[in-house]
Amino acid sequence: MAGSLIGSEIIKIGNEVNDMIRKGEEICNLTIGDFDPAIFPIPEELRTEITAAYAAGNTNYPPANGVPELRNAAAAFLESRLGLSYSPADILVAGGSRPLIYATYLALIDPGDKVVYPVPSWNNNHYCHLSGAQGVEVETRQDNNFMPTAADIAPHLHAATLLALCSPLNPTGTAFSRADLEAICDLVIAENKSRGPEEKPLYIMYDQIYWLLTFGETRHYDPVNLRPDLRDYVIYIDGISKCFAATGVRVGYAFGPSGVIDKMKSILGHVGAWAPKAEQIATAAFLGQTQAVDAFVADFGTRIQRSLDALYHGLQEMRREGYPVDAVVPMGAIYLTAQLDVLGKTTPEGKLLATNKDITFYLIGRAKLALVPFGAFGTSETSTWFRMSVGGASLKSIEAALPRLRQALDELT
């Protein structure tokens, strides 16, 4: 299994870019879904609470399922903000969302079980490989903002064990409409009603790690609020990593039906993928500071949207001028979906751009602009769509990169 793992294309591209930056090159790095702390620091109140928690000696093992203070705080936060009422006993804390996603797969999937997920999407192919699942990729389309519809998913749900969904979506920065998510939920309810008592049910893993970051008229929707009958079949993935620019703080939490969460606790108890105790104590204190949370999210969201809008409007202006580019209106998260339709073009050095990786590395070298192709998220290597992640770049560097992109496109023949 380990020998056949495929490395992360995002990390490969990011590492090459970082090597160039260390050598003194100025590159607008829109690759990793991370934050430059000099541009987007964590909330000051959270930083203060972390320091205080270490000073108070919270440096020993936390409980394997998370400190009670954080599970209580997360339960209160979810109920007040989303109207989701879950017992602290049904909340599992871990070192970010990755261990929780992995534990969801391992708790539900036997080798050969079917997992359905849309593409592009983040890392489901790797989790299918790790768990021995039969992954079923569902292609999405630009005309629905690369979000899956019930019609897309319906042919694949028979005998499936897990449907993996994410909204706002990494890598697209788009989100479910209420109607689309309701229709998908109704499919899952109908599928479970059709199964016999000896058959496994169909579960939804719902990754909502970006839910506090939505823009404009976009609203966040989730399965259990829309269809309470799904409560026993939805495992939520959540945490502070993205919405509080706290990727390195490593505090995530999952919640859902007791039977599944208990199995996930057992798995992670052996793995030891715990969030540090001091950071858990600090997060519990911070989540209860309503005014501080609201103030941070408002300012942070405005700044993220400003960067996304700069990219979107810059690309749309180029499109109006006849350049082979496009972009989807940013709806949430920290990503812009952009199209660079230059496959088949030739670089000034005479190299044919035959794949999206070729485009990626041409832009890194020529425009000093680093993006991630949708090919890294499950689509084909000839897809001309890319993810632009704004957390690691300043607005100034983004604005400076757009003329370089224009010139790089001008030099193609």
Structure confidence by residue, pLDDT tens digits, 191-247: 999 999 999 999 999 999 999 999 999 999 999 999 999 999 999 999 999 999 999
Q: Do 13 and 72 lie in a common domain?
A: no
Confidence of residue 7 (pLDDT cuts 50, 70, 90): confident
Q: Of 334, 333, 276, 273, whose CA–CA distance to 104 is shortest?
A: 273
Q: Please give the Cα distance from 330 to 332 (Å, whole number).
A: 6
pLDDT at residue 382 tops 90? yes
Share of the chain above pLDDT 90, in %: 93
Query: What's 241's DSSP letter?
Result: T
Domain boundary among the residues 289, 307, 326 is at: 289
Q: Do 186 and 81 lie in a common domain?
A: yes
Q: Do 281 and 320 lie in a common domain?
A: no
Over the stretch 143-191, which tens digit does the pLDDT of each residue have? 999 999 999 999 999 999 999 999 999 999 999 999 999 999 999 999 9
Beta strands in 126-213, from DSSP E residues, in sequence order = 134-139, 160-166, 203-207
Domain boundary among the residues 239, 271, 289 is at: 289
Domain boundary among the residues 289, 316, 333 is at: 289
- The residue-averaged pLDDT of 372-380 equals 94
Q: Do 267 and 355 lie in a common domain?
A: no
Q: Do 278 and 317 lie in a common domain?
A: no
CB 209 within 8 A of CB 169: no
CATH code at position 276: 3.40.640.10
Beta strands in 318-394, from DSSP E residues, in sequence order = 325-327, 335-340, 369-370, 372-373, 385-389
pLDDT score, position 26? 86
Q: Do 273 and 381 lie in a common domain?
A: no
pLDDT score, position 396? 97
CATH code at position 379: 3.90.1150.10
Q: Do 102 and 228 lie in a common domain?
A: yes
Q: Do 272 and 135 lie in a common domain?
A: yes
Q: Do 310 and 256 lie in a common domain?
A: no
pTM: 0.96
- The residue-averaged pLDDT of 255-283 equals 97
Angle value at C-alpha 97, between 92 and 102, nearest 5 degrees: 85
Q: Do 192 and 329 lie in a common domain?
A: no
Containing structural domain, residue 395: 2-41+294-410
Q: Of 225, 260, 241, whose CA–CA distance to 40 is shortest?
A: 241
pLDDT score, position 16? 79
Q: Do 20 and 83 lie in a common domain?
A: no
pLDDT at residue 142 tops 90? yes
Cβ neighbours of 398 (radius 10 Å):
21
- The residue-averaged pLDDT of 94-118 equals 98
Tally of structural domains, the chain? 2
pLDDT at residue 24 tops 90? no
Over the stretch 277-335, which tens digit does the pLDDT of each residue have? 999 999 999 999 999 999 999 999 999 999 999 999 999 999 999 999 999 999 999 99
What DSSP string runs through 267-316? Answer: HHHHHT-PPPHHHHHHHHHHHT-HHHHHHHHHHHHHHHHHHHHHHHHHHH
CB 161 within 8 A of CB 206: no
Q: Is the dihedral of CA 375, 379, 381, 385 positive or negative?
A: negative
Q: Do 12 and 69 lie in a common domain?
A: no
Q: What is the dihedral of CA 40, 43, 44, 47, to 10 degrees?
A: -100
pLDDT score, position 5? 84
